[in-house]
Amino acid sequence: MAFATRPFVRAASSTAAATAAAKKLIVKHVTVIGGGLMGAGIAQVAAASGHTVVLVDQSDEILKKSTKGIEESLKRVTKKKFADKPEAGAEFIEKTLKNLTTSTDAVAVVHSTDLVIEAIVENQEVKNDLFKRLDKFAPEHTIFASNTSSLQITQLANSTTRQDRFGGLHFFNPVPMMKLVEVIKTPMTSQKTYESLMDFSKAVGKSPVSCKDTPGFIVNRLLVPYMMEAVRLFERGFWVSFLATPSPEMPLIRQSLSLYLHRIFMG
């Protein structure tokens, strides 16, 4: 009888494993690599939304500066969000900071993380070396994501053995204020990973848009020709009057452009 039940047990175990593998990863623990303006901002919104966050950089001095910047940013947020409830604002800051720790050893902290977000220097080789090293120590379920605004996500993913658990999360500066996040899916990114990244973006209070792994993604790809055309208009003298003296038309121009871009992104 025991021999008859073994295939059934194995089959049941395989089915359970397959079902678990098909489920989206609910991100609870986040490691942010890079304590600069973008990394600190990402760490702040993740901690403020209840995630356990470890912010990593090369020195304690950098991390102290990052933490101080986060504290100041949280104070600005609470002045608006809890204008009539200072006690609630103080509690919000305290809870957020409790969710945040720092480290100078990325390898030591990735062993228990669900999501690694890289926000370091825009250098392909440096990023590749980082991901290749962390790939050896992070758990199998851990998703890797880059905040790069210009480098190809596919090339970064190829430095690891988890191409299916790799994507892009492009936040905008200042992170606590800007709602948009570009979620970049490579040809190798699994649907499970993509959905987990979308869910995480929503969980931190952002409005994610899906994007293919194309140069500049969406916003920067639109921004470059937009800026070039603005330069051409200036060279032709069209905007000299607007730039030389304050004009009531400028807010109308910004409003029109904002509505136009809103239609592009939101439909």
Identify whether the C-beta of residue 12 lies closer than 8 Å to the C-beta of residue 18.
no
Distance of CA 204 to the CA centre of its chain: 9
Q: How far is 202 from 217, CA to CA, in rounded Å? A: 19
Residue of 182, 190, 196, 201 with catalytic role: 182
Q: Does 146 qualify as catalytic in the annotation? A: no
Any known ligand binding at 159?
no
Order of strands across the sheet that contains 115-118: 100-103, 52-56, 29-33, 115-118, 143-146, 166-171, 180-185, 207-212
Of the listed 103, 128, 158, 220, which one is catalytic? 220
Q: Are 199 and 211 in contact (CB under 8 A)?
A: no
210 in a known ligand binding site: no
Question: Is 262 marked active-site?
Answer: no
Q: For residue 165, what is the enclosing H or E element?
A: none
Identify the active-site residue in 159, 170, 190, 196. 170
The CA distance from 38 to 85, in Å, is 29
Q: Is 182 a catalytic residue?
A: yes
Q: In which residue are the tokens 């403020």 written?
A: 48
Q: Say whether 73 counts as a known binding-site residue.
A: yes
235 is known as an active-site residue: no
* Catalytic site positions: 149, 170, 182, 220
Q: Binding site: which residues? A: 73, 80, 149
Which residues does the annotation place in the binding site for CoA? 73, 80, 149
